Amino acid sequence: MKTQIGDTAGRIWKALQDKDEIAVSQLPKIVKERDALVYQGLGWLAREDKISYRVDGNKTYVSIVK
């Protein structure tokens, strides 16, 4: 399971490199993965301080920390 989470985190990272910011709700579709693995991948990246979150109304966006 840890390998799947790491792989998903890598795909999220790649998607974020292609776009400045992505709505969290769109990530499962973009990286073609189940919601649970996407959220775990986000947690992995957040724990490593590689991503930041921004809330706008009822949407949450994620981007790479620069």
State the CATH number of the domain containing residue 18. 1.10.10.10
Q: What is the pLDDT of residue 20?
A: 87
* Entry pTM: 0.93
Q: What is the pLDDT of residue 66?
A: 84
Residue 37 confidence (pLDDT) above 90: yes
Indicate the number of domains in the chain: 1
Average pLDDT rounded to a whole number, residues 3-21:
95
Where in the sequence is the domain holding 60, given as residue range(s)? 2-64
Q: 9-13, 18-22, 42-46, 57-61 — which is least confidently predicted?
A: 18-22
Contact 53, 5 (CB under 8 A): no
CB-hemisphere CA count at 13 Å for 19? 13
